[in-house]
């Protein structure tokens, strides 16, 4: 369990066998975020229910995993209204 990473079924299904994608901003082939070695706060930040990629790695990860699909954003907005989102970083 020490070496597991959590992900939602939606993002996991979108990832498939992809380990990289093309940065929508630069068009450069870029590796996806690796939670075992990359720092989340360097690559991402929340803007309401939208996850914003701050770097090429972040943008590619958001794009390939379809993190901001409308259903996902809508669900996050509901969680924000219920004060259950975003997740606290002190866990």
Is 60 domain-assigned? yes
Cα–Cα dist 8/61, whole Å: 14
Is 91 domain-assigned? no
Identify which has the larger pLDDT, 32 or 17: 32
Give, as one character, the DSSP assignment of residue 33. P
Is 74 domain-assigned? yes
Is 2 domain-assigned? no
Q: Please count the other Cβ atoms lying within 10 Å of the Cβ belonging to residue 57.
A: 21
Query: In which domain, by residue range, is 42 found?
Result: 9-81
Is 3 domain-assigned? no
**What is the value of pTM for the model shown?**
0.81
Is 18 domain-assigned? yes
Residue 70 has what pLDDT?
96
Query: Domain tally for the chain?
Result: 1
Residue 50 has what pLDDT?
95
Class of residue 21 by CB neighbours under 10 A (exposed 0-12, middle 13-18, buried 19+): buried
pLDDT over threshold 60, residue 11 = yes
């Amino acid at each position: 369990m020490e070496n597991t990473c959590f992900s939602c079924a939606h993002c996991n299904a979108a990832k498939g066998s992809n380990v990289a994608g093309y940065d929508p901003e630069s068009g450069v082939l870029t590796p996806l975020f690796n939670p075992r070695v990359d720092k989340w706060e360097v690559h991402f930040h929340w803007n309401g229910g939208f996850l914003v990629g701050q770097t090429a790695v972040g943008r590619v990860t958001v794009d390939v995993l379809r993190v901001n699909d409308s259903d996902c954003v809508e669900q996050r907005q509901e969680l924000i209204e219920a004060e259950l989102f975003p997740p606290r970083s002190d866990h």
